[in-house]
Amino acid sequence: MSKQVVSLNRVVIRFAGDSGDGMQMTGDRFTSETAGLGNDLSTLPDFPAEIRAPAGTIGGVSAFQLAFADHDITTPGDAPNVLVAMNPAALKANIRDLPRGADLIVNTDEFTKRNLEKVGYTSNPIEDGSLEPFNVHAVALTSQTVEALKSFAVSKKEAERAKNMYALGLLSWLYSRGAEGTRSFLNKKFAHKPEILAANLAAFEAGWSFGETTESFSVQYEVAPAALPTGLYRNITGNPALALGLIAAAQQAGLPLFLGSYPITPASDILHELAKNHRFGVMTFQAEDEIAGVGAAIGAAYGGALAVTTTSGPGVALKSEAIGLAVSLELPLIIVDVQRGGPSTGLPTKTEQSDLLQAMFGRNGESPVPVIAPQSPSDCFHAAIEAARIAVEYRTPVFLLSDGYIANGSEPWLVPDADTLPKIDPNFATGPNHTKADGTEEFWPYLRDPETLARPWAIPGTKGLEHRIGGLEKADGAGGISYDPDNHDTMVRLRQAKIDGIADTIPDLVVDDPTGDADILVLGWGSTYGPIGAACEITRRTGVNVAQAHLRYLNPFPRNLGDVLRSYRKVLVPEMNLGQLTMLLRAKYLVDVTSINQVRGMPFKSTELVAAITAAIETL
Amino acid sequence: MTDTYPSLSLVPKTDIAITAKDFKSDQEVRWCPGCGDYSILSNVQAFLPELGLARENIVFISGIGCSSRFPYYMNTFGMHSIHGRAPAIATGLAVSRPDLSIWVITGDGDSLSIGGNHLIHALRRNVNLKILMFNNRIYGLTKGQYSPTSEQGKVTKSTPEGSLDYSFNPVSLALGAEATFVARTLDSDRKHMTEVLRQAAAHEGTALVEIYQNCNIFNDGAFDPLKDNETRDDVTMRLVHGEPIRFGADNSKGVTRTEDGHIKVVNVEDVGEAAIISHDAHAKDPGLAFALSRLSNPRTLENTPIGVFRDINRPSYDRLVREQISDVIERKGPGDLQSLLNGSDTWNVS
């Protein structure tokens, strides 16, 4: 039976179910098929911190949102066009985000009295009329899956577990996605379990056929490919992109890559990704704690490796003293902080941008560290290479501030040509650099490059460069212990000047102000790039001019930032914190920027930013 | 040289003759006059030429405390790091640089209090590090608080009524942490220390050497029973692999097994020579080494064994890391960056 096919420009789907329902995998598969069709896309996984929260509870709901379009998009969308709710808890947790008229697919099998009561429904929403605003498709997903698999050599429980594939088949049909990728994925995943493989393939086909034949779905949709720049694409998530960036940076620098890390959500996937890449000589050290992770990285940096430690906010707190040591030793080190909700353990699986001030100031003494932040999942790759460049060229620890949203979110990525990546020069010291009064030559570990103020990177094993360094204050140049007051004043200022000077090698901030006469600038950093971009576009479509700029470099700031801030009547700074960048901007430039903030553990919705921009315009 | 020190086979040899003097740095040594650290420093400087290594391939890494100033006085590469973290830093260096001979200098506070976690994990991993723990049973640099090896009841500035903490026995701790090499020596016994350092240097993996070190300012005489001519032989049990464990003025005392499987110190003539057990540092089971470590009285130092308690073969962690990587490269070939970036699931936009 052929149905009417309707073309759409953009679709947002949210899969929601119990933690054990396989929603993340379902979302990943749908994403992969969608990427292959050439749509632009953006994803937002949202899952609980518990591995298996109590079944059927609100706390145990795991969701995956995906936006895909025939044009360039930057966010996973504010509100879904389709919600797949695998149980009452998933419905209850997500229904408030569903706009009137949206499609709602519910798994009726799970809407039992007990499951309804568990989440506080006193009547069945499928029957009591409360879902009337939506286009409800009540489907017995579980029992239809079991029915479809009755001739297969699997238990009832195993058959029930295949219901996510049934749902995926249905959605794949509904949005004219391919099936080949999912088939080959399942073939690989269940290669050693032929019965389970057959059942999952059959469940997928059954879901697809159900879509084709049921009267519940009268139309099928399609979304044309987006007009993206030509080239080879893959879909990529932030954490793996960051790992690839580190491997690429090490290769471009001709250095071995060493990771010292302790597992922590949401950063562990970087450790996992690097551990898979021993072929590149990558050394991954799972340390006994966060401090040992950074400590080992400092040891490897001292020995001449490109050294990295990966963590999240609580881990940074533990590493602070060691980062201060790296500041004092002036050794290259990359500290990756995949930020999550805080303080303390906070919200491990939810996103936040609240470690900016910790990265800037969370150490004793005057301890400046460069800070840079990627703006999207694929940008993690390039930001990692840039962090490595700064670390190596300036012999300094560098903070790379990712967050849970871009770490787990994904987007299509125009794969770069490895040959065009920038080279990084470690420029190891090879011999003496100072002549004593008596004419003999010696090595001064703190004799700085006059331009960059970087000290020599003199690694053990280099003849004639034996020297001792440590956390005690060092004499300017010669590097021996010094308690001299003037020397300390000099060294504190030199370390600061070195970091400030990095601004000479970073690009000016680029402002997107299409008409050139906007009164308002929206300035962001990190993962808010997508929502801010979408909000500015929506605002411009209403005929209001607004400028957008996004900071990749948080310390030091680009040289032109002060001028940019002063050239707009109003500057809005959206952040997923209570105004940390805002504080830095006000302190440095004495400009009264306006903070827009929320800390709900989720990215900004573009609609809320549109509202904030509109309100700001009205006050001009 | 290579045969004597298999653990250092990857470290380049010196091409010039070097002596103890070559290991002295130009820094003025600033420990208190009379500190036990001086003799340890000079013993280490006198021993190192024996290894025949290129000086630039030797690294000393320390934490914080009096002992941790040590690297400044060695004309090698050195890092004076932060409190308790030297084993972690040294681990990163050892994993990435097999061509270095790496020594960790630490104290009882540095390695057993603030850095206890890193110490036990370095020991269980068996990273190719030689850890010299200067144990003076007191906090010196912070001016005299009790340490984790101070005897219970110790009166110090922070414990005017006596400390309540039960003390650590570093050798017992190391054995419990799966250490492959554990030894104890004395700051004042140059010959003994040199022999212990020799065996530690030859060991592949982490070697923990506890060095009883006198702090003449805050805990003077802490090890006097092991040093005074009158008591020394009576309390010190010198462990030698393969030899019967006998000590005392006329070798009159020995260690024997009790009926219930424990060990105890006895008069040899009471039990007969045949009942005295021999030391076996190479025993796979750490039981005997552990039992020996428990014989000493932490207060009086009676029955204190010194020497190598345990010295067994287990591949070092850093070697295993390198072998795993080279094995992967051998099986799958070296990585190609472009194919890594491409991944397995791509599409073309034309």
Residue of B122, B64, B120, B70 lying closest to B93 (CA atoms) = B122
Strands B181-186 and B207-212 come out as parallel
Residue with tokens 């098929």: A33
Q: Which residue of B has its CA nearest to A36?
A: B347
| Interface touch B345/A300, C-beta < 8 Å | no
| Sign of the four-CA dihedral A454, A460, A462, A468 | positive
Q: Cβ–Cβ of B346/A285 closer than 8 Å?
A: no
Contact A119, A130 (CB under 8 A): no
Token pair for B151: 């005897």
DSSP A158-213: HHHHTHHHHHHHHHHHHTT--SHHHHHHHHHHTTT-HHHHHHHHHHHHHHHHHHHH
Closest among A219, A249, A463 to A336, alpha carbons compared = A249
* Per-residue model confidence (pLDDT) at position A528: 97
Give CA–CA dist B60/B103, Å, rounded: 5
pLDDT band at A50 (very low <50, low <70, confident <90, very high): confident
Residues from chain B contacting residue A469 (CB–CB below 8 Å) = 78-80
| pLDDT digits 0-9 by tens, A112-141 | 999 999 999 999 999 999 999 999 999 999
Q: Inform me whether the C-beta atom of residue A604 falls under 8 Å from chain B C-beta atoms.
A: no
| pLDDT for B1 | 42
Tokens, residue B251: 């070798």
With pLDDT > 90 as the criterion, what percentage of chain A qualifies?
95
A52 band by pLDDT with thresholds 50, 70 and 90: confident
For position B3, what pLDDT does the model report?
A: 57
Q: Do B349 and A38 touch (CB under 8 A)?
A: yes
Per-residue pLDDT at B5:
82
Mean pLDDT, residues A456-481: 97
Residues of B whose CB is below 8 A from A306: none
- The predicted pLDDT at position A92 comes to 97
What is the mean predicted confidence (pLDDT) over A408-432?
Answer: 97
pLDDT digits (tens, 9 = 90+) for A372-412: 999 999 999 999 999 999 999 999 999 999 999 999 999 99
> Measured between CB atoms, does A243 come within 8 Å of chain B?
no
Instruction: Report the gap between the CA of A36 and the closest CA in chain B (Å).
Output: 6
User: How far is the C-alpha of A594 from the C-alpha of A343, rounded, in Å?
Assistant: 24
Q: Report the pLDDT value the prediction gives residue B2, as an integer from 0 to 100.
A: 43
The reported pTM is 0.95
Testing the interface with B: which of A29, A234, A302 to mutate, by most B Cβ within 10 A?
Answer: A302
| Span A492-513, pLDDT tens digits | 999 999 999 999 999 999 999 9
Q: Do A466 and B75 touch (CB under 8 A)?
A: yes
| DSSP classification of residue A284 | E
pLDDT for residue A1 is more than 60:
no
Q: What is the pLDDT of residues A509-536, one digit of tens each?
A: 999 999 999 999 999 999 999 999 999 9
Q: Please count the other Cβ atoms lying within 10 Å of the Cβ belonging to residue B133.
A: 25
In chain A, whose CA is at the least distance from the CA of B60? A468
At A411, is the secondary structure helix, strand, or coil?
A: strand
pLDDT of residue A62: 94
Burial classification of residue A43, based on how many CB atoms lie within 10 Å of its CB (0-12 exposed, 13-18 middle, 19 or more buried): buried
Please say whether the beta carbons of A370 and A398 come within 8 A.
Answer: yes
State the Cα–Cα distance between residues A586 and A605, nearest whole angstrom: 25
Give the distance from residue A272's alpha carbon to the nearest chain B alpha carbon, in angstroms.
15
**In what side-by-side order are the strands of the sheet with A10-18?**
A40-46, A61-69, A10-18, A82-85, A103-107, A135-139
Whether A292 and chain B come into contact, CB under 8 Å, resolves to yes
Closest Cα in chain B to A295: B89
Tell me the pLDDT tens digit for each residue of A572-598: 999 999 999 999 999 999 999 999 999
Is 50 exceeded by the pLDDT of residue A9?
yes
B16 CB-contact burial (10 Å; exposed 0-12 / middle 13-18 / buried 19+): exposed
User: Please, which residues 163-202 of chain A have a Cβ atom closer than 8 Å to chain B?
Assistant: 181
Average pLDDT over residues A52-64: 91
Chain B interface includes A304 (CB < 8 A): yes
- Please list the ranges in chain B whose pLDDT falls under 70: 1-3
> In this structure, what token pair is assigned to residue B91?
């681990």
Does A461 contact B81 at a Cβ distance shorter than 8 Å?
no
The amino acid at residue A430 is: T
Count of C-beta atoms within a 10 Å radius of residue A437: 5
Collect all residues of chain A within an 8 Å Cβ-Cβ radius of residue B61: 299
Restricting to A residues 315-354, those with a Cβ less than 8 Å away from any Cβ of B are 321-322, 324-325, 329
Task: Give dist(CA A536, CA A511) in Å, integer.
Answer: 12
Per-residue pLDDT, A218: 87
If you average pLDDT over every residue of chain B, what do you get?
96
CB contact under 8 A, A296 and B345: no
Contact between A22 and A164 (Cβ < 8 Å): yes
The per-residue pLDDT for A164 is 95
Q: What is the mean pLDDT of residues A557-574?
A: 98
- The confidence score (pLDDT) of residue A53 equals 82
Instruction: Express each pLDDT in A186-229 by its tens digit.
Output: 999 999 999 999 999 999 999 999 999 998 888 899 999 999 89
Nearest to A551, CA basis, from A385, A405, A356, A369: A356
